[in-house]
Chains A and B, each alone.
Chain A
């Protein structure tokens, strides 16, 4: 049982990780992330990269939808803007990836700000529909602006290079994707220690009284859209380096729904929720595939019979979460922690 946590300064009380135990666990996690690619094969390195990309995009959406309360179904489209930006910069200018990625984020942020304008008038489902428009309009642009996007054929992206080394395998690219993901998550967590994050939450909880309390809605709603799209853009840029080809079909509306599902399953309005949700949504189908593969030797028909069931199980898991833990995986994690803190007593 944890008896108390004594703090001697306000700074210590405001810290991101406010106990020594937490800091040690975080260090252990970072160490594990560094060691992971050496222990894993290409397949798991691939999955880790994909999960990290999804975590970035989902965290962006979580800032917008989970924290600011603005439902968006445009996240994948803004990822597309980032991916195309990287593809174009690589092919036409050949600038290095550490320049391209921020530019991808900024391009997406600009698009997000424009498509966020309806949020000043509409909320909830209506806003969700308005952001679907973003999806369709951007898809149309990707598919038809031939001279720039090369139409439906898409653009092939050369591998990112660092000091002359082409980062052309998941193992190599992991060293770009994972640090970027960690930095962006820390940034998101920092946000909610300041007035910016408080303004977002206030807008979510009661936008009208937030305004009377001195928070200009126009500015902060658009900031939230821009920031969410920046995260999407960087994720899209990494996606482009990862898959090395960008086409209009790479970022369908269903991908936006995937991110929305990820933050709902993970827990809206918590940084941890975006991480857990995106990792869950990325890995569970793969884990189910492995399980099916594992029973194949003893039951040869398993692959044929169970493969379709896999999708059903995945869907059932999501529905199960919505019913039994509407606050998401992050809340389960929090409860588990509390149980340990209180042990041997119970709540």
Chain B
């Protein structure tokens, strides 16, 4: 897999809000067909990284390349068209629409229906809508096991189901890189396992590359091929899950150094700061 050129490549990405560096020279490759996970403590810059990749933030420096082509000058909708599909940490479903319409919305960038076709619902509009409905039903709704809620308004669904509908919408975007922002946050064990299974199946069945941000270490270590660890906007380690897990710097970032004297000094410093 390492021999393949990366489908997505983040190169020296630097993002600043005022004087705060949210991302500082972040670089990593995403191999085609891999599941790459970005982990790190809260505030490490994981979601900022996602937002910079999908074009929502303008980075100060560095570059994002999709199959070798720099996409830094592209607007978010154009990046979506290239196949960067994503879900959001705090679920961004459209509450005024049904599950089915939310999923269909994902295909927007790949459809050509214009205003006139739409008003008459004739020719291209009808053809495109019918093709889309069939594909959404047979490939996505069926696959994610959400056929019982297709006509439900999204607001009425449980959190776990909403996450699944978001995944469905991202699949409707014809993704090449599926970016999942905390796909199992707030889920119980069973829902987490379901989601992990869906992610693995998506890769198998659709041949999609997955890039995800996740806090659930169990799941990250189980299903990832490549793990990138961010802390204070910098990559402090990356590699195979087991190598990252053993990396002392990662353990320090997550758990502290394990050195009791060091901990005492930090508490003392904190106490002085508070006083």
Contacts and interface: CB of A to CB of B under 8 A. Distances in A.
Contact of B119 (A16, A190, A205, A208): A190
Contacts of B75: 211, 216
Contacts of A11: 130
B40 interface: no
Contacts of B107: 195
B266 to A, nearest CB: 38
Contact of A209 (B92, B97, B121, B133): B92
A214 interface: yes
Interface string B50-63: 00001110000000
A191 interface: yes
Interface in A193-208: 193-199, 201-202, 204-206, 208
B251 interface: no
A212 B118 contact: no
Interface in B75-109: 75-77, 80-81, 86, 88, 92, 94-97, 101, 104-109
Contact of B56 (A194, A197, A212, A223): A212
Interface in B18-39: none
Given A190-B121, A191-B118, A269 B173 contact: no
A210 B94 CA distance: 9
A272 to B, nearest CB: 15
B113 interface: yes
Contacts of B66: none
Contact of A212 (B86, B104, B117, B120): B86
B108 A190 contact: no
B88 A196 contact: no
Contacts of A202: 94, 97, 105, 108
Contact of A10 (B113, B121, B130, B173): B130
B77 to A, nearest CB: 5
Contact of B121 (A193, A199, A227): A193
A214 B130 contact: no
A16 B126 CA distance: 12
A197 B118 contact: yes
B48 to A, nearest CB: 14
B76 A212 contact: yes
A207 B169 CA distance: 16
A16 B125 CA distance: 14
A278 interface: no
Contact of B108 (A10, A16, A193, A198): A198
A328 to B, nearest CB: 14
Interface in A1-19: 10-11, 13-14, 16
Given A187-B120, A212-B55, A196 B106 contact: no
A213 interface: yes
A240 B54 CA distance: 49
B157 interface: no
A222 B192 CA distance: 42
Contacts of A87: none
A194 B108 contact: no
Contacts of B249: none
Contact of B105 (A191, A213, A216): A213
A223 to B, nearest CB: 6
B134 interface: yes
A83 interface: no
Contact of B104 (A16, A198, A204): A198
B115 interface: yes
Contacts of A201: 94, 96-97, 101
Between B56, B105, B120, the greatest number of chain A beta carbons within 10 A of the residue's beta carbon is seen for B105
A208 B56 contact: yes
A195 B55 contact: no
B97 A198 contact: yes
Given A212-B54, A212-B56, A216-B75, A198 B113 contact: no
Contact of A199 (B76, B95, B108, B119): B108
A71 to B, nearest CB: 16
Contacts of B119: 187-188, 190-191
B111 interface: yes
A14 B129 contact: yes
Which 8 pairs from chain A and chain B are nearest by CB?
Answer: A214-B109, A214-B80, A209-B92, A190-B121, A187-B119, A205-B94, A196-B118, A194-B118
Given A206-B92, A206-B94, A216-B75, 16 more contacts: A16-B121, A187-B119, A188-B119, A190-B121, A191-B119, A193-B118, A194-B121, A195-B113, A196-B113, A198-B105, A198-B108, A202-B97, A202-B108, A212-B80, A213-B109, A215-B109
Interface of B: 54-56, 75-77, 80-81, 86, 88, 92, 94-97, 101, 104-111, 113-115, 117-121, 125, 128-130, 133-134, 137, 169, 173
14 contacts: A188-B119, A190-B120, A194-B113, A194-B118, A195-B105, A198-B108, A206-B92, A209-B92, A211-B56, A212-B56, A212-B86, A213-B108, A214-B173, A216-B75
